Amino acid sequence: MAQVLGVGEAVARIAYLSSDVIVSVQPSLSTDSEFSKFLRQYADNKASSLICKDVPEIQHVRHNADPLLSLYQPVRSGKITTVTTDSSILIKSIPHLYRLAQYPVVIHASLHPAGFPDYSDITSIRNVGFTFLQSNSLQEAQDMALTAHALAIRSGKGVIHFFDAANSKADQPIAHESRQLVTEVLDTNLARQYQSMSSDDTSLYVSEGRPQVRNIGLSEGAAAPPLPAVNGVSGATSPHDQSSASSSSSDRKNSSSGASEAESATTVDSQPKPVSSDDIDFICESIWSQIRSQTGRKYSAFNYTGPANAESALFLFGSDPGLFAAEFQSATQADFFRNVGLITPVLYRPWLAERLTEALPRSVKRLAVLEQVRRRTTKWGPILLDVLMTLKASDSHQTPTIVGYQLGYLEYTTITQALSGIFQNLLSQSPIQNLEVGQHGGPRTGGTSVQNEFQLSQPKLENAYMKILDQLFSERLHIANALTSKSAGVEDQGIKSSPEYGFGSLLARKQHRQRFVSEVQAAAKTRGFTTDNPQKWLSQWALSATDAEKANKLAPEVIQRLSIDGSSAASKLLRSKGLFYKESQWLVGSDAWAYDLGNSGIHHVLASGENVNMLIVDSTPYSERAAQDAARRKKDIGLYAMNFGNAYVASCAVYSSYTQVLQAMMEAEAFDGPSVIMAYLPYNREDDSPLAVLQETKKAVDLGYWPLYRWDPKAEEKGEEAFKLDSERIKKELQEFLRRDNHMSQLMRRHPQFHAHLSESYGSEVRKVQKRKAKDAYEALLEGLQGAPMTILFASDNGNAENLSKRLARRGKARGLKTMCMAMDDFPLEDLPNEENVVLITATAGQGEFPQNGRNFWEGVKTSTDLDLANTKFTVFALGDSHYWPRKEDKHYYNKPGKDIFARLQALGGKQIIDIGLGDDQDPDQYQTGYGEWEPKLWDAMGVGNVEGIPDEPPPITNEDIKAASNFLRGTIEEGLQDASTGAISAGDQQLTKFHGTYMQDDRDLRDERKAQGLEPAYSFMIRCRLPGGVATPLQWQQMDAISTELGNETMKLTTRQTFQFHGVVKGKLKPAMQGINKALMTTIAACGDVNRNVMCSSLPELSELHRETHASAKKISDHLLPSTTAYHEIWLKDDNDKNVQVAGNAVQDFEPMYGPTYLPRKFKITIAIPPHNDTDVYAHDIGLIAIKGEDGHLKGFNLMAGGGMGVTHNMKKTYPQTGRMFGYVDRDAVHIACEKIMLVQRDNGDRTNRKHARLKYTIDDMGLDVFKGQVEELWGEKFEEPKPFHFESNIDTFGWQKDERGLNHFTMFIENGRIEDTAEFPMKTGLREIAKVTKGEFRLTGNQHLILSNIPSEELEETKAMLKKYKLDNTNFSALRLSSSACVAFPTCGLAMAESERYLPELVTKLEGCLEENGLRQESIVMRMTGCPNGCARPWLAEVAFVGKAYGAYNMYLGGGYHGQRLNKLFRSSIKEEEILEIMKPLLKRYALERNEGERFGDFVIRIGMIKATREGRDFHDDTAEVEEDE
């Protein structure tokens, strides 16, 4: 027989068998409760229920989303409805409970937290009119669950079944309750009657106060056998009816009010009969007798165990009665608690006094009552009162002595001791009441690893807003409601966290201070002080008491004066000295406050007009918002507050704009009146990664679900706008409000660029209409054309499938076919059956998935059951790479989307035109090889194979064409910038703007969501500066900081090539940003594109003179190789009135003497390293210069290497990373010319037909080193000399303080992956800005994306150190692995990214740090790098261990790079995920710790132990890899 292992399963199963609808309350939709897993399982298996005709409906609801609201709808429509939850929701659901009590609703509540729950969750709601049942073991849980359902059906009243799940943890598995028993006990006939009734006419909202009545099951038919006892309840008067009316229990009156009406009740039609407590007793008895007769298990309202003649007993309302009983049983003669009984309530409400007196042996003279109730508001506990009332009023008993105890947490080992204490007190002459037993606060903190883990893994998320408040107002901050900062806002914490509670205490506090101010005023006028000083200071203070800034400044002065005065007047004031400070007072709460605004404390606060600040943290993740019941009453608090008209309101999101949060909090604090800040912190589970939170936030903000704004109703008095929109979109309701308020029109007038967004409506309807329009437009175009129709649909990631489709369409048209071509997702799926000929062309994305613009189409085709393609012919061409997945089990990913859709269309009845064609990137012509065979077959099958007179096709436009036609890089950029209808620029211009230092990107986190909303991608631009050698002045730093804040996404990236990069600059802000950069005497020209890029230079803090000279060479080379076009100046540096705003020189002209009109075949990179530091990775660039120091200590010249480069295409063996080859030595004065000549030979010999083969490394390898070098020397007219000796030691930075030869100081700080941003924990950006405002030093950006604060004179040292400390920038105490790690940007902005990098590497390092620590490797530097794609921006191929993105979440792993960047690594594993990465890395690090030779580097070690072969140079990069490709 099937067995039940745990109480969650036992209860879930009975609930499932006994309900139509189950509301499963969970911490979040993705986190299971102890019941939900089983409920889901049953539903997935379509298990049958005994009550529901079909499969019960399971509704999953978050616990902080007012879950009981979900009950009204099903209850009203006659559904038997059950809730599974933990007890934490009960108190805040009291208003619902009152209403639901009169319906047969069952709530199974697992007491929270298990193991040491607070039973006040139950005692606090004891009067809501529900029946309460308690179970204490696994078997009881199953039986009481069944009792609860049967009781609800038979009584028509709500039942709450509660238990502490920890009580039954050690219980043996039990047998399933048989379906037969469940059927009989439930009384399904009665259930059917209930189901057939609709309570539409008795609205739940208006029924409050109506007496609870049995409104079902009273007809003759329903009273049918088999159960005589039920008969009685179902129609006849129960034996207890008479006596119940005169019951002495006060609680009984609560639950049986109106019991006397029962006497006149005869049938349901004439008069429904109220349910009395005796009815409940009667029904329970009958249910339990049924259970007993079939199983032998006995139950009664109070469960007594122990000797029948016990003189003392324990009444327990708390956890683990089993443990107490066992202790009693094993008591010895010596124990105080020998021969005692234990009694626990099974039926807690109604409280049946008679049953208690029956259960308790008459011999009991002393009774200890233990209550595990922590939140107690009364002196006597609720259970003690119940017991007292019962036993004192009972005439049949000689009242025993009753002593109450409060039960805390008892360790297993201390239970004997605790019981001794309890009974010693009980048996004493005059026992003490209200003793506390055990630990009040629960198990000792820090004791369980679960708690520890929780605290370790989550503080970041939970604390963000509290930390900002703390940061802004520090000691002035006062949070009025009882929240711990740890969980502020994320979890609702019950009564004390409610706004009412906090508001009351705040008002009291304010009044208290007002009184104090009056006292001070009075004191200032008296002569009660011994010195003169206090009076003057007190009057001054009293005048400013309400001005926080002034009052707080004066407070310490006043306190000091009073302290030395010594008079009694002074001492009196000093007793309340805290009140000299004016606090920043806040109420902090969660979105749970949003459910019943009209009645909530928020309403009180707003209506009061008091100067109180509220911070409300909303944690509903964007992707779960739709799952919320539309009928819910969750209100927009911001809107509600704005409608009040007197409140400052702001909506912010810390993971979207940190600055805006700060601003809003400061404005709220300064506002004289109520303020409400709605703060977003989407939160799914305790272990949510910050990345998940970031992505949820972005979606919510970007799509207008959570707009960022600030509203100050008094701003207009000051001539400012009341409403400030800080994000781009707002939702409809807010839009309506603004429109009503006439603000909308003003806003639109002022910001016409928002117009389209503001007045747009959202949703899938838009998308539908768009699809329809696009298709209709096509059809109109095709009208009039002859020939067969052919619809070509593509799904394309990088453009190949799209280009192929468009070309196919052109060719089809030329053959007389009516062709239509569009992305799969743009095609209305319902039209597919009407198409005659459909050709699908799809690429393969990720792990065999559809590219983004075909995913919805595929989902539709895959899941549709009614697409009939009997009249449709189709074929498919698929593009993929047969070697992308080396492992056998992954081979099926090859061209999977194409193969899948081909099979599916066939299954839907489609006829194939021709067989599927497969394009393979491994073929000689890549996918073109397969396509070349497939296309002619298609034309033949369509009957247009031999058509004469087909016009010649224009050749495809290449990058070379774009450059040549661009008029020296102008293209149509200017026009594109003017076009406000789109955030994008044209494809051709996208190539050209790279030469100007900017790329168009789109936010990839938002792609899917925006598409679903019918919006274009969230386009923005990346801007890269040109900063030779990475040296910036403090002023330049401040200017860059301001640009990122005002025009970008508030962050800056310090790149691997030592420059500033801005992200998230929208098109309209591109020009101002470029002008700002120019004003800072920097430029962006040639920062990207097919030109020489930024020239790098070692940072060398310890030798400043040599650095200065080398840096000068870097600048000279950079300037020498700049393009000459005036287009840059023309496009970016003229203002709207065509006035010249260029600051940094004007010496450019339209002639490119060096580059010519087509510039270089590919990008060109130069770097300088100064031995022994290879911190710029000198081997990885087109030209690597190794600085050679002369004997005089000055720069002499350079060893020049050429042909290094990183970019690779996965699996394309023709591409490889390469290290630079040595050309020889060049004097410092000639080096720029030598560089120029190398560039020119590359210009003329580089492969312009294939961009993947166009870098200098291939040109040199193809031509041969000697030939290439010979051509350079010939062009130059000079020869390279023999290289000079040099020696490198590492390619990482040296962190901390260093002194140079001039005595100036330099501090290298750790900037993780180069990202400069503020967070609540680490206000790094602010700190650097503040330092830049005061320092006389300079900022040096390193090639490892870190930062050096340079040239600090010794007299400024202390102050600088203090500032670094203040902003936590002085911390370099990280693991050496972290300090040596580096990642590129990748998601969300880089269009080429296949996997996360910058956002993920820090997490991966964290996961390895424990292992480093264990193996004593914390201080060992291992160079680890990660990039999101094989373009290799963070130079992964030179790292000792590297991860390069292959698909989302999957990386190729490389091992064996040289520690100082001299040797390439080699592929170790392909497409591995985090789990496998850790599986490989952890044992490997352990081995390294144990087996390495002295001083042996990790990269050398893995080669020595044979894990990987050494790569000698780029051309053997693909040979002897560790992973052999497996055959299918």
Q: Which is nearer to ligand SF4, 119 or 1387 (CB)?
A: 1387
**1393 sits near ligand SF4 (criterion: CB under 6 A):** yes
Where in 1069-1109 does DSSP place strands (E)?
Answer: 1096-1097
Name the H helices within 815-926.
855-863, 896-907
Going by C-beta distance under 8 Å and a sequence separation of 6 or more, which residues neighbour residue 1502?
Answer: 1440, 1455, 1456, 1484, 1508
| Nearest one of 429, 410, 304, 316 to 368, comparing CA atoms | 316
In angstroms, what is the minimal distance from the CB of 1398 to ligand SF4?
8
The C-alpha atoms of residue 1462 and residue 1176 are separated, in whole angstroms, by: 12
In angstroms, what is the minimal distance from the CB of 1221 to ligand SF4?
24
Q: Which is nearer to ligand SF4, 1258 or 1400 (CB)?
A: 1400
Do residues 159 and 106 touch, judged by C-beta distance below 8 A?
Answer: yes
Q: Which is nearer to ligand SF4, 1288 or 1387 (CB)?
A: 1387
Q: Which stretch binds ligand SF4 (CB under 6 A): 23-31, 173-181, 1390-1398, 1484-1492?
A: 1390-1398
**854 sits near ligand SF4 (criterion: CB under 6 A):** no
Q: Which is nearer to ligand SF4, 151 or 1311 (CB)?
A: 1311
Do residues 468 and 1320 touch, judged by C-beta distance below 8 A?
Answer: yes
The C-alpha atoms of residue 847 and residue 1394 are separated, in whole angstroms, by: 11
The C-alpha atoms of residue 638 and residue 642 are separated, in whole angstroms, by: 6
The C-alpha atoms of residue 857 and residue 772 are separated, in whole angstroms, by: 14
Among residues 821, 1025, 1390, 1411, the one annotated as catalytic is 1390
Would residue 821 show up in a list of annotated catalytic residues for this protein? no
Selected binder of ligand SF4 within 244, 590, 1397, 1470 (CB under 6 A) = 1397
Q: Which is nearer to ligand SF4, 1351 or 1427 (CB)?
A: 1427
**1000 sits near ligand SF4 (criterion: CB under 6 A):** no
Q: Which is nearer to ligand SF4, 1145 or 1391 (CB)?
A: 1391
Radius of gyration of the chain, Cα coordinates, nearest whole angstrom = 39
Q: Which is nearer to ligand SF4, 174 or 1453 (CB)?
A: 1453
Q: Which is nearer to ligand SF4, 106 or 1393 (CB)?
A: 1393
In angstroms, what is the minimal distance from the CB of 1003 to ligand SF4?
14
Instruction: Compute how many other C-beta atoms are within 10 angstroms of the C-beta atom of residue 1418.
Output: 14
Among residues 355, 467, 1004, 1024, the one annotated as catalytic is 1024
Site string for ligand SF4, 1409-1448 (x = CB under 6 A): ------------------xxx-xxx---------------
**965 sits near ligand SF4 (criterion: CB under 6 A):** no
The CA dihedral of 380, 382, 383, 387, to the nearest 10 degrees, is: 70
> Is 358 exposed, middle or buried, given 0-12, 13-18 or 19+ CB atoms closer than 10 A?
middle
Among residues 1067, 1429, 1446, 1466, the one annotated as catalytic is 1429
Phi, psi of 668 (to 5 degrees): -60, -40
Tell me the two tokens of residue 945: 């194979």
Where in 385-443 does DSSP place strands (E)?
Answer: 401-407, 435-437
| H or E segment and range at residue 1231 | helix 1231-1245
Query: Looking at beta carbons, which pairs linking 479-484 to residues 24 or more positions away fall under 8 Å?
Result: 479/586, 479/587, 479/588, 480/505, 480/506, 480/509, 480/585, 480/586, 480/587, 481/505, 481/587, 481/588, 481/589, 483/588, 483/589
In angstroms, what is the minimal distance from the CB of 985 to ligand SF4?
19
Q: Which stretch binds ligand SF4 (CB under 6 A): 417-425, 484-492, 1053-1061, 1392-1400?
A: 1392-1400
Q: Looking at residues 71 to 130 of the shown chain, list those that interact with ligand SF4 (rule: CB under 6 A).
A: none
Q: Which is nearer to ligand SF4, 1345 or 1397 (CB)?
A: 1397
Q: Which is nearer to ligand SF4, 1323 or 1436 (CB)?
A: 1436
In angstroms, what is the minimal distance from the CB of 138 to ligand SF4?
53
Q: Which is nearer to ligand SF4, 1188 or 1386 (CB)?
A: 1386
The C-alpha atoms of residue 1500 and residue 1341 are separated, in whole angstroms, by: 29
**1392 sits near ligand SF4 (criterion: CB under 6 A):** yes
Size of the site for ligand SF4 (CB under 6 A): 13
- Tell me the β-bridge partners of 1184: 1167, 1201
Complete DSSP assignment for 702-732: HTTSS--EEE-TTGGGGTS-SEEE-SS---H
Among residues 52, 284, 1088, 1433, the one annotated as catalytic is 1433
Helix axes 179-186, 277-295, angle to 10 degrees: 160
The C-alpha atoms of residue 378 and residue 374 are separated, in whole angstroms, by: 11
Name the H helices within 566-677.
568-574, 601-608, 637-644, 658-670
Would residue 1429 show up in a list of annotated catalytic residues for this protein? yes
Would residue 1163 show up in a list of annotated catalytic residues for this protein? yes
- Tell me the β-bridge partners of 710: 650, 724
Do residues 1162 and 1207 touch, judged by C-beta distance below 8 A?
Answer: no
In angstroms, what is the minimal distance from the CB of 1428 to ligand SF4?
3
Do residues 1180 and 1205 touch, judged by C-beta distance below 8 A?
Answer: yes
Instruction: Compute how many other C-beta atoms are within 10 angstroms of the C-beta atom of residue 911.
Output: 13
Among residues 873, 1165, 1325, 1329, the one annotated as catalytic is 1165
Helix axes 1104-1120, 1231-1245, angle to 10 degrees: 40
Q: Looking at residues 1224 to 1253 of the shown chain, list those that interact with ligand SF4 (rule: CB under 6 A).
A: none
Among residues 1093, 1243, 1425, 1435, the one annotated as catalytic is 1093
**1087 sits near ligand SF4 (criterion: CB under 6 A):** no
DSSP state of 598: G
**1452 sits near ligand SF4 (criterion: CB under 6 A):** no
In angstroms, what is the minimal distance from the CB of 1432 to ligand SF4?
6
3-state secondary structure of 1031: strand
In angstroms, what is the minimal distance from the CB of 1436 to ligand SF4?
8
In angstroms, what is the minimal distance from the CB of 1024 to ligand SF4?
11
Q: Which is nearer to ligand SF4, 1055 or 1375 (CB)?
A: 1055
Would residue 1469 show up in a list of annotated catalytic residues for this protein? no
Site string for ligand SF4, 1350-1389 (x = CB under 6 A): ----------------------------------xxx---
**1056 sits near ligand SF4 (criterion: CB under 6 A):** no
Phi, psi of 616 (to 5 degrees): -120, 115
Among residues 1384, 1399, 1446, 1469, the one annotated as catalytic is 1384
In angstroms, what is the minimal distance from the CB of 1382 to ligand SF4?
11
In angstroms, what is the minimal distance from the CB of 803 to ligand SF4?
21
In angstroms, what is the minimal distance from the CB of 1401 to ligand SF4?
11
In angstroms, what is the minimal distance from the CB of 1159 to ligand SF4?
20
Where in 1365-1423 does DSSP place strands (E)?
Answer: 1381-1383
The C-alpha atoms of residue 630 and residue 634 are separated, in whole angstroms, by: 9
Per-residue burial over 815-838, b if 16 or more Cβ lie within 10 Å, else e, is bbbbbbbbbbbbbebeebbebebb
Q: Which is nearer to ligand SF4, 1182 or 1420 (CB)?
A: 1182
Residue ranges in contact with ligand SF4 by CB under 6 A: 1384-1386, 1390, 1392-1393, 1397, 1427-1429, 1431-1433
Name the residues annotated as catalytic.
1024, 1093, 1163, 1165, 1384, 1390, 1429, 1433
